[in-house]
Structures are given as structure tokens and as C-alpha cells.
Amino acid sequence: MSVREVLGEEPEVAMAEERYRVIGEILSRVFRGARPLTLSDLLDKAFLNRGLGIPIFLTLWWALFRFTFDVSAPLSDLIDVFFSRLGEFASSIIGNEWWSAFVSDAICGGLGGVLVFIPPIFFLFLGLALLEDSGYLARAAFVVDKILRPFGLQGRAFIPLLLGFGCNIPGVMATRTIPSERDRILTICVNPLITCSARLPVYVLIAGAVLGAYASMGVFTMYLLSIVLALLMALIFKALIPYFRGRRAPFILELPDYARPTLRSTLTHMYERGILFLKKAGTIIFLGIIVVWLLSSHPWGAPLDQSYIATLGRWLEPLFRPLGFDWRGAVALFFGFIAKEIVVGTFAVFFGLGEEAEIEEVQRSIVELGVFTPLTGFAFMAFTLIYIPCLATIGIIYRETNSVKWTLFTVIYGLILAYLIALLIVVIGGLMGLG
């Protein structure tokens, strides 16, 4: 007689059920009087309801994102304006031309480029901390388990994926709550496909420039593509890679009682995750922007198309020609590897507008110079979505998997998939006469 014969495919679940059966038996003998329904029970009847659970979840999720972006937008604008003024002021008081450009474009531009992400990231984490401390997030994982299961992911993978929409770094770190190593690594591998908030400015820039009336539809498509690809790749990896096969880890989740979130623990949760993003991502993005500036403004005084960055771009261009990206697109993607935020900054630098250029000016230049057609622009957005998230995420993937193999795997499949999907968009679009 084997474990499988007695307890079936999920012995851990069967053992949990057996314990609860014994508990039920004990309770039936020690309770006098019926236990009335508590508020927690009533809330669960709604939140975990087969029909209502998912609509409620989607509503709360939507509210969380509206909250994050609406509340943080004015603050981000404020930070943006502050640093561009600071840059102008600094350059006006520094005599030396090189230092003046360095301080205003590289330093102030770089700092502004990092700090504008603080409001959305902190508000997202505040919202998540509220949902978590109230006890709802555990229910959400439970509800979503039914959706994720067919794709080989379990309910606990939901929180890391959700966090990924803010930033992949805390997303990857949150996989620690997944007990099974296999499930954890699978969730880490697909997490970079979740479109983080840093990719949004790229979509907004390109879609606004070349997609015209379809701009917001284009951005929305990226979010849809992100979710579809993450689930699809999980399914494919599960089917093709022997490591992910085998016994499915059962999903046992203790649902804590609902509680009123305390100010202190909510703020602590938000602060811990936010600071982590700032430390890991901030320094790298900041340095990346400085490097782009140095390469694009040297040899000093040379026009942009003779700068080091242009040389690099021309060298990369043949690789991207099938996708219809020119050397500027190639360079933007190359530096986007450091952090996606840099893609927008790179375009701004290209058109001689400086890091702090208004987005409308950059968009106008993209159209006037014919950098993208609507089709190649859309392919560029898809490429940005799919390929390697950023240096900091790669670092965190290595730390959390503790494996060079899985880190490389994530980087390489991302590049190949990005190329394939972008090519597919260009080819199919071309055949449909959308070029």
C-alpha cells in the first residue's frame, strides 16, 4: 500500500483534510451551543463566493490601480518640474560648459528620472499593504488560484504577479511566500513578463506619437499581452521543462481573520517595500542615465550622429532591421536593459532636447524624423514589454533563485520571445497592409 493509493495525488491536502476531520470530531463533542456566524464568516460568504468572488476581486484590483495612478500623478509631476527647474538653475550658475551640461542633464535629469517613480510605487505598496493587513489579499490568492491553476501556477503566485505591475523587484521577492521550490522558480521566471510601471512611460510615448486615435487602445493591449504571455509561458515551461513537471504542490492557505489595518503596520509594509525599490533600482537607473548622457555627448561637441552612442547604435542596427527599428531604437533598447525608464530618456537625449524634454516635443520629433511607423512603433512597444526587465531585476532574480542557470534562462528566453513577437507583429501587420 503506497501513499498515493491511500491519499491520492495530493497527500499534503489529504493530510490537512484528515486533521480537520479529527478537529471536527473533537469540536462536535466539546461545544455546547451553536457557534453563531461572525462578521468574518459573513464577509467570506461574499468574498469567497463562486460567482461573486472574482468580480469583487477585479473591482478591488481596478480600484487599487486607479488609486495608485490618480493619487500619485500630481506628485510625480511636481517632482519632475522641481528637478528640471533645479537643472536649469544649476546650469545657469555654473560657468564651465561641460560641467553645466553634466549637472543639469545628467545629474538632475538622472535624479528626476528615478524620483518620479517614488509616488506611484509607494502608493501602490500602500494600497497593497491595506489589502494585505485587512486580510483580503489572502482571500484574493484563494479566489485567483482557480484561474491560475490551469496555467501551472498556484494561488500564491498571484501576489508576486500583482506586485510585478508596480515593479518586478518586489514581485520577485514576494515569491518567498511560495513554499514549493518548483512553483517559486516558475513564478520568478514569468514575473518579468508582467509589465511594470517603468514600462508605461515607453508605451505612452510611442503610442502617443504614432498610434494616433488608437493610442490608449495600444497601451491597454500591452497590459493584456503582458498577462497573456505570463500565463502562456508558465504553461509552456511547465509542459516542456522537466524540472517544472511532476507532483503538483497543493495549495493550502490559512485565511486570517479580517482585521482593521493598523496605521503603523500598514506604513511599515509600504516603507519596507518602497525603500527596497529605491535602493536596488534607484542607484542603477541613476547611473544608467549618466552613462547614456556621457556616451551621447562625447566626443564633446560632436553632433549626436557622430557620438559614441550612435556608433554603438549603428553596430546594433542590422540586428534590429528586420523589426524596422533604426539605430536610435536599437540604442534605446540597449540602454533600456539597464532600466526601462531610460528608454524614454534616451529618445529625449537623441532629439537634442535633453533629459527633461516635454513628452510632446519628443513625440513630435519621432513622427517628423520617421523613427517609427505605427506598425514598427507597436512592435517596439511589444519588444519593450517582453525583453529583460532591467539590471536590478536580473540581480534580484539571481539572488532569489541563487542560480546562474535560471537567471540566464530568464534573460535569454525574454530576448528571444521579444524578438519573435515583435517580428510576428511586423510581418503579420505588413501582410495585412498596415505597414
Partner 1 sequence: MKEIEVALIGNPNVGKSLIFNNLTGGRAHVGNWPGKTVEKKEGRCIHKGVMMRIIDLPGVYSLTAASIDELIARNYIVEERPDVVVDIVDASNLERNLYLTLQLLELEANLVVALNKSDIAEGLRYEIDVKGLSELLGVPVVPTIATVKVGMEELKDAIVEASKRGVKARVRYREDIEELIEGIGDILRRDEGLIKKYPIRWLAIKIIEGDEEVMRLIEERGLMGELREVIG
Contacting residues toward partner 1, per CB under 8 A: 1-7, 11-12, 15-16, 18-24, 26-27, 29-36, 38, 177, 179-181, 247, 252, 254, 256-257, 259
| Closest CB 71 distance from partner 1, rounded Å | 30
Between CA 384 and CA 200 the distance in angstroms is 10
Residue among 77 and 257 whose Cβ is closer to partner 1? 257
| Closest CB 123 distance from partner 1, rounded Å | 27
Residue among 133 and 355 whose Cβ is closer to partner 1? 133
Between CA 156 and CA 174 the distance in angstroms is 9
Give me the torsion for CA of 98, 100, 106, 111, rounded to 10°: 160
| Closest CB 254 distance from partner 1, rounded Å | 4
Residue among 66 and 399 whose Cβ is closer to partner 1? 399
Q: What is the DSSP letter of 38?
A: P
| Closest CB 149 distance from partner 1, rounded Å | 18
The three cell numbers of residue 153 are 501556477
Using an 8 Å Cβ cutoff, are 48 and 142 in contact? yes
| Closest CB 401 distance from partner 1, rounded Å | 16
Residue count of the chain, please give it: 435
**Which residue is associated with the grid cell 490618480?**
70
Residue among 123 and 406 whose Cβ is closer to partner 1? 406
Residue among 177 and 283 whose Cβ is closer to partner 1? 177
Residue among 240 and 260 whose Cβ is closer to partner 1? 260
HSE on the CB side for 191, CA within 13 Å?
Answer: 35
The letter for the amino acid at 339 is A
Between CA 322 and CA 324 the distance in angstroms is 5
Buried b (16+ CB within 10 A) or exposed e, 404-417: eebbebbbebbeeb
Please give the helix or strand (H or E) that residue 294 lies within, else none. helix 283-296
| Closest CB 30 distance from partner 1, rounded Å | 4
- Using DSSP's 3-state secondary structure scheme, residue 271 falls into helix
Using an 8 Å Cβ cutoff, are 361 and 353 in contact? yes
Q: What is the DSSP letter of 249?
A: P
Task: Count other C-beta atoms under 10 Å from residue 229's C-beta.
Answer: 21
| Closest CB 171 distance from partner 1, rounded Å | 18
Between CA 97 and CA 99 the distance in angstroms is 6
Residue among 148 and 222 whose Cβ is closer to partner 1? 148
Residue among 27 and 52 whose Cβ is closer to partner 1? 27
The three cell numbers of residue 245 are 513537471
| Closest CB 12 distance from partner 1, rounded Å | 4
